[in-house]
Amino acid sequence: MASNVLRDARRIVVKVGSSLVTNEGRGLDETAIAEWSRQLAALVQGEGGQRREVIMVSSGAIAEGMKRLGWAKRPSEVHELQAAAAVGQMGLAQMYETKLREQGLGSAQVLLTHADLADRERYLNARSTLLTLLGLDVLPVINENDTVVNDEIKFGDNDTLGALVANLVEADVLVILTDQKGLYTADPRKDPAAQFVHEARAGDPALEAMAGSAGSSIGKGGMITKILAAKRAAGSGASTVIAWGREHDVLVRLAAGEPIGTLLVAQTAKTQARKQWMADHLQLRGAVVVDAGAAAKLQGEGKSLLPIGMTAVEGEFSRGDVIAVRDGEGREIARGLANYASAEARLLCRKPSSAFERLLGYAAEPEMMHRDNLVLAERS
Average of pLDDT values for 266-281?
66
Confidence bin at 215 (pLDDT 50/70/90): very low
Report for 60-64, 70-74, 152-156, 309-313: range of highest mean pLDDT:
309-313
For residues 325-346, average pLDDT: 94
Give yes or no for residue 246 having a pLDDT over 90: yes
- Does pLDDT of 49 surpass 80? no
Please compute the mean of the pLDDT values over residues 310-319 and round it to a whole number. 95
What integer is the mean pLDDT of 305-319?
96
Is the pLDDT confidence value at 152 over 70? no
Is the pLDDT score of 234 beyond 50?
yes
Instruction: Domains for the chain: give ranges and CATH numbers.
Output: 4-270 (3.40.1160.10), 281-376 (2.30.130.10)
Q: Look at residue 293 in the predicted model and tell me its pLDDT.
A: 96
Average model confidence (pLDDT) for the chain? 87
Q: Residue 217 above 70 pLDDT?
A: no
Full 3-state SS string of the chain: CCCHHHHCCCEEEEEECHHHHCCCCCCCCHHHHHHHHHHHHHHHCCCCCCCCEEEEEECCHHHHHHHHHCCCCCCCCHHHHHHHHHHHHHHHHHHHHHHHHHCCCEEEEEEECHHHHHCHHHHHHHHHHHHHHHHCCEEEEEEECCCCCCCCCCCCCHHHHHHHHHHHHCCCEEEEEECCCCEECCCCCCCCCCCEECEEECCCHHHHHHHCCCECCCCCCEHHHHHHHHHHHHCCCCEEEEEECCCCCHHHHHHCCCCCCEEEECCCCHHHHHHHHHHCCCCCCEEEEECHHHHHHHHHHCCCECHHHEEEEEECCCCCCEEEEECCCCCEEEEEECCCCHHHHHHHCCCCHHHHHHHHCCCCCCCCECHHHEEECCCC
Which segment, 111-120, 264-273, 313-322, is predicted with the most confidence on average? 313-322
The predicted pLDDT at position 216 comes to 43
Q: Specify the range with the lowest mean pLDDT, choosing from 90-94, 155-159, 177-181, 202-206.
A: 155-159
Q: Mean pLDDT over residues 87-99, rounded? A: 94
Comparing 213 with 304, which gets the higher pLDDT?
Answer: 304
Confidence of residue 154 (pLDDT cuts 50, 70, 90): low
Q: Tell me the percentage of the chain whose pLDDT exceeds 90.
A: 57
- Using pLDDT thresholds of 50, 70 and 90, give the confidence band for residue 186: confident
What is the predicted pLDDT for the residue at 214?
45
pLDDT higher than threshold 60 for residue 347 = yes
